[in-house]
Amino acid sequence: MTERLADISARIGGIRQLGSVVNAMRGIAAARAQQARVQLAAVDSYAATIALAIGQVLDLASAARLGTEQPATGRALVLFCAEQGFAGAFSERVLDAVGGELDDAELFVVGTRGRAIMTERGMTVDWSAPMPAHSLGIPKLADRVTEALLLRVASGEIGRLEAVFSEWRPGQGIHIERRRLFPLDLPGLSAPTSRTQPLLNMLPEALLIELTAEYLHAQLCHTTLHAFAAENEARMEAMAAARTQVEHQLATLQATERIVRQEEITAEIIELAAGETASRSGEGHQFR
């Protein structure tokens, strides 16, 4: 009985330690998600500024000379998957959203966990990179992705780019979004508010090429931040479910511990009472 009580106490200690780990992971995920959401506003402002600049320069250059209409028919998908585990079916949702399209497109994958799942499924990954541990590392990652994509575009291997990423919506959970990155939606870009021509120190066509690359970088920062925040939101949700399970197991074990302790105390009382009865019975035989 004592050994069983010791085992239960040890399990309770282990469950409590697990609960501490779950709480810590949930707190870290919450902090990272909040930081990413704050940075999204700055990235949106940056992208809007670049879009406005493109709109102002478009009047000075021919869109046909910008490389925005590529003869290449190949396309690429940039998939933002999970970097770590404990995020539920985060990566699987992204992969299921594109389905059969994975077979006829170059795949650029962000997220170590997502790449591992794709390898298990027998999918070919053309380029991959890990998601930064902190959102401050996202611009550097966007630099790498932009460089790799533009090399494919410049070589004529691909003419269309799309990003597939997760977005967390309060009260609705995770939604899978798709965004065209290239060619640019030139008519959809902001039109200049003034007809005054900007002062340039380089050819409009060359400037537009630079602005296109910068706009692509801004869009990748935006989609990466959304994916980063969504993964951490998914991890918070998974840790909340784990915490509920930990509390349930802890309550069950504590109830079992109380029952076993009561049984042990009862057994000791019975043993003591039996010993006292036997002792008195022995004393009675002596007097006779």
Average pLDDT over residues 264-274: 80
Which tens digit of pLDDT belongs to each residue from 186-229? 655 655 555 566 677 778 778 888 888 999 999 999 999 999 99
71-85, 93-107, 130-144, 261-275: least confident range: 261-275
Cα–chain-centroid distance for residue 219? Answer: 18
- What pLDDT score was predicted for residue 230? 92
Which fold is adopted by the domain 18-194+201-241? Pyruvate Kinase; Chain: A, domain 1 (3.40.1380)
Is-contact 59 197, C-beta < 8 A?
A: yes
- What pLDDT score was predicted for residue 67? 45
- What pLDDT score was predicted for residue 226? 93
Instruction: Give the E-state strand segments of the chain in sequence order.
Output: 75-80, 106-110, 127-129, 160-169, 173-182
Element (H, E) at 184: none
- In this prediction, residue 41 has a pLDDT band, given cuts at 50, 70 and 90, of confident
Is-contact 118 98, C-beta < 8 A?
A: no
CA distance 195 to 99: 46
CA angle in degrees (0–180, nearest 5) for 175-177-154: 155
Residue 37 CB-density burial (10 A; 0-12 exposed, 13-18 middle, 19+ buried):
middle
- What pLDDT score was predicted for residue 81? 94
Is-contact 108 77, C-beta < 8 A?
A: yes
Contacts of 57 (CB under 8 A, 6+ apart): 198, 200, 204, 207, 208, 211
Portion of the chain with pLDDT greater than 90, in percent: 31
Q: Residue 179 pairs with which residues in a beta bridge? A: 163
pTM of the shown model: 0.78
- For 76, phi then psi, to 5°, come to -130, 145
Task: Give 3-state DSSP helix, strand, coil % of the chain, rounded to 5.
Answer: 65, 10, 20
Q: What single-letter DSSP state applies at residue 131? A: P
46-55, 114-123, 159-168, 273-282: least confident range: 273-282
Q: Where do the domains of the chain lie?
A: 18-194+201-241
- What pLDDT score was predicted for residue 127? 94
- What pLDDT score was predicted for residue 208? 82
Average pLDDT over residues 61-87: 72
